[in-house]
Amino acid sequence: MKKTMTMKMAKVSKRWLRGVSFALALIIMVSGGMILNSASTDAKAKTKYVALTFDDGPSTVTTKTALKALKKYDAHATFFVVGNRVASGKKYIKKAIEQGCEIASHSWDHTNLAKLSLAQVNKHFEKTAKAVKKAADYDVKLLRPPYGAVSTTMKKKFEHPMILWDVDTLDWKYRNTPSIMKYIKKEVNDGSIILMHDIHKTSVDSLNTVLKWLKKHHYEVVTVSELAAIKGVELDKGVYCNIK
Ligand SMILES: [Zn+2]
């Protein structure tokens, strides 16, 4: 009698144990899934986008260093090229396009376009666009006016998007990595446009630090046109300092 009771109890507790382990396994599976799910949602929510832009090139000396750093970090930039430098820097323009970068116009010879007539501004844009087309069979769509100078006429009547910036690294002025980083850390935001110049050795040399920091802070570095597409903004005529 005593023996049968003990056997019964053992059977019950075995069944109970099985039940508990099944329930535990279920809890672990469900909560594990929830953790994974929330981790991927977090990663998505954390990703921010920034457009890195370079003016005044291409340079036959320094642009290659910029391209190397961009490639290393799987980053895309927009190069606003000066038309009269396109033929000599053809090799770097082609390489930039191959890497997924964007080529845009920075006038033919770095003139202050705000002082010109609309016809003259158009001529600057078209002449540079033609040079890029000839060098790399690529269609230029955007203008960055030298000095960020835009006239009222350009604002009203120029047919292409004019891209300015909201993060000025002042890389041409201070010429060192800590200073460039100071402005980026202070001013960068989701949808920002960063201004740099690929004609200075100090600027292209800073890129490993710049790109490493942006990556660490969940910024994906894209071209201006990619940023617009990601943000669902159709780039029209007018001035853009960022794309939110
Ligand atoms: Zn410039």
CA of 29 to the centre of ligand 1 (A): 57
CA of 82 to the centre of ligand 1 (A): 8
**pTM of the shown model:** 0.83
Q: According to the model, what pLDDT value does residue 36 have?
A: 47
Catalytic annotation present for 200: no
Residue 30 has pLDDT above 50, yes or no: no
Residues 176 and 200: beta-carbon distance below 8 Å: no
If pLDDT is split at 50, 70 and 90, which confidence band does 43 have? Answer: low
Catalytic residue among 76, 106, 124, 197: 197
Residue 96 has pLDDT above 60, yes or no: yes
- DSSP state letter for 113: G
Q: According to the model, what pLDDT value does residue 46 have?
A: 81
CA of 30 to the centre of ligand 1 (A): 56
Residue 21 has pLDDT above 90, yes or no: no
Catalytic annotation present for 55: yes
Q: Which of 8-12, 61-65, 133-137, 155-159 has the lowest mean pLDDT?
A: 8-12
CA of 238 to the centre of ligand 1 (A): 19
If pLDDT is split at 50, 70 and 90, which confidence band does 25 have? Answer: low
CA of 124 to the centre of ligand 1 (A): 14
- Residue spans of beta strands (DSSP E) within 22-106: 48-55, 78-81, 102-105
Q: Count the neighbouring beta carbons within 10 Å of the beta carbon of residue 97.
A: 17
Residues 113-122 pLDDT 10s: 999 999 999 9
d(CA 204, CA 210): 10
Residue 2 has pLDDT above 80, yes or no: no
Residues 86 and 135: beta-carbon distance below 8 Å: yes
Q: Count the neighbouring beta carbons within 10 Å of the beta carbon of residue 83.
A: 22
Residues 188-220 pLDDT 10s: 999 999 999 999 999 999 999 999 999 999 999
Q: What is the mean pLDDT of the chain?
A: 90
d(CA 122, CA 159): 9
Integer angstrom CA distances of residue 75 from 24, 68, 99, 161, 202: 45, 10, 9, 23, 19
Residues 137-149 pLDDT 10s: 999 999 999 999 9
Mean pLDDT calculated for residue range 125-137: 98
Catalytic residue among 55, 56, 171, 198: 55
